[in-house]
Amino acid sequence: MNFTVDQEFINSIVNYFIGGICAFDVDSKSRKVTPLYMNDGLYRMFNGSKEDINNIFKNIRLSIIPDDLQVFEQGITDILADDGAAEFEFRIVNFDGSLMWLRFHGNLYSREGSSNIVSAVILDCTEEKTIEEELKRQSDYMHLLIGTDITFDFNCRTDACIYRFTETDALEHDSVIKGYHEKIPSLGIHEEDVKAYEQMMESAMAHPHRDKLEFRSVGLINPTDEYRWYRADIVSILGKEGYVSHVIGHIIDIHESKLKEIELKLRADHDGLTGLMNKQATEELIRSTLMQYNTNESLKGALMILDTDNFKHINDTYGHSTGDRVLAKIGDVIRNNFKGMDVTGRIGGDEFMVFMHNIRSAEDAGSLAAKVQNLVIHAFDDEDFGRDVSLSIGISIAPDHGNDFQTLYEIADKALYFVKTHGKAGHRIYSEELG
């Protein structure tokens, strides 16, 4: 059988090929991609009019999903390097709004100046990638289910979350929560952990990744009246449209181990003799508390530096055990006379610091300083060394004297210096006449 291959036959084969056989002009300087030839098979693959498809390829970068632009640019760079054929995959928004995965197999055909002629075969690999993503989703899902107590599946499209409990849990049924994202604050998560939980979920919905969070909860996943610590391990799954469709994960009870961790941290952050926080922990917590004062002008606070008078004399005369008793007693007085939101710490051998949070006036700080002084002075009335025990206290006020720790500390230290050089055993709120 004699068969002659002519140009018309070749054109017919090219146009009937299910996929794109194309040629593009790529400018080396501007990186602009201009279509020179696209076969009929490309238009059939996109299932649209030539005008629609031409518009896509004339402005190809506008149609590529932003997350895949870097892949596309690197692919073009590899082709222009002329080291052989380059193949890469990227997602594109079709003219009808649907998402397609394209596999681009290109080669440099010729080059003249900044003009580079690229020949390419373009195939639709959407179905292949969808199956691949689904297999990955199932693999991730099964990985999360192994050995877990509670699993959940949040559907980003419907805003519904399904909690599944194992038979060993007090709750042995599935719980479906509709309008999940808006209901997060009412699901029993501790108010201090709600914001972090919401941010974790919002981040997971924005782009596919893994994340974890430790939080306290009571109610839905913990059917008791006391908060317990849990850890959520999540992974967000990419749907076939190219956007996150599900956030799945598991929740593990870490209460006992978390309590031990907190206990160890408290020991590390606290002074063993007085039970107050150490210098570093005290300063960090005061700095953190002061952040509120930059956004809320109605707040007023007081920073106190409390120095033990005559401490070296007490140590040298009555012994270090007596000195330790004095410091421990001062610690008790401080801990028992400041409210829970106040920060209390021992910042040196015989020096203490307190930050009074949300006071009504500077006079309140002065009154409490006087009370603490009086309690310390009379704490050892029956002891030989009792007459030597007293405190000198310097006080600065936020925001009157500043909103940052360093400024408040320096100003309170000036007030303390004034007290120490004017007889000790007293307190002073900083004022301009101190210099």
Q: Could you tell me the residue ranges of all domains in the chain?
A: 18-124, 129-258, 270-434
pLDDT at 147 over 60: no
Q: Is-same-fold flag (18-124; 129-258)?
A: yes
Structure tokens at 412: 């309170």
- What CA–CA distance (Å, rounded) separates 233 from 252? 8
| 46-55, 139-148, 230-239, 421-430: the lowest-pLDDT one | 139-148
Query: Which pLDDT band, with edges at 50, 70 and 90, does 171 fall under?
Result: very low
Of all residues in the chain, what percent carry a pLDDT higher than 70?
89
Tell me the torsion sign for CA atoms 114, 24, 77, 238: positive
The mean predicted confidence, pLDDT, of the chain is: 86
Q: Do 238 and 135 meet the contact criterion of CB atoms below 8 Å apart?
A: no
DSSP state of 308: E
CATH class of residue range 270-434: alpha beta
For 64-78, what is each residue's pLDDT tens digit?
A: 998 899 999 999 999
For 310-331, what is each residue's pLDDT tens digit?
A: 999 999 999 999 999 999 999 9
The model's pTM is 0.47
Query: Which pLDDT band, with edges at 50, 70 and 90, does 262 fall under?
Result: confident
Q: 337 phi and psi, to 5 degrees?
A: -120, 5
| 137-146, 158-167, 259-268, 294-303: the lowest-pLDDT one | 137-146
* Residue partners of 208: CB distance under 8 A and separation at least 6: 235, 236, 237, 238, 244
Query: Which pLDDT band, with edges at 50, 70 and 90, does 240 fall under?
Result: low
Q: What is the pLDDT of residue 426?
A: 94
Architecture in CATH of 129-258: 2-Layer Sandwich (3.30)
Q: What is the pLDDT of residue 354?
A: 97
Structure tokens at 300: 């007023």
Q: Do 234 and 210 meet the contact criterion of CB atoms below 8 Å apart?
A: yes
pLDDT at 122 over 80: yes
Q: What is the pLDDT of residue 123?
A: 92
CATH class of residue range 18-124: alpha beta
Q: What is the pLDDT of residue 1?
A: 43
For 268-294, what is each residue's pLDDT tens digit?
A: 778 889 989 999 889 988 998 898 888
